[in-house]
Amino acid sequence: MSEKTLTRMDLSEAVFREVGLSRNDSAQLVESVLNHMSDALVDGEQVKISSFGTFSVREKAARVGRNPKTGQEVPINPRRVLTFRPSHLMKDRVAAGNKGS
């Protein structure tokens, strides 16, 4: 499977072509949506996009692990982890696309 990086410019171009906004307005719209999503995630909210999936941030607690070289116990700091859970529609669409390959 090949890797595709989707940039803000790609999203702006898609909005420009599909919606008909100017390129500048399209870029501002995409930036506004991404900032809104990011702000919600920073605040600990879930971001659910209908028929696409859900983004959420969860806290991973501090815990103790082992250094594989020395075997000593070492603390692992707590951290926030961003997760994405695709919707069933998105899973089905991807699965259907994989069958055609």
Q: Where are the domains positioned within the chain?
A: 8-43, 45-62+77-100
Output 43 or 4, whichever has higher pLDDT: 43
- Quote the radius of gyration of the chain (alpha carbons, Å): 19
pTM of the model: 0.66
Position 1 scores a pLDDT of 57
Residues 6+ apart with CB under 8 A from 29: 12, 15, 21
- CA-CA distance, 4 to 26, in Å (whole number)? 21
Q: Residue 45 — φ and ψ, nearest 5°?
A: -85, 160
- pLDDT of 58 over the 90 cut: no
Calculate mean pLDDT across residues 71-85.
89
Contacts 24+ apart (CB under 8 A), 69-74: none
Element (H, E) at 63: strand 63-66
H-only helix segments in 1-101: 8-19, 23-42, 88-99
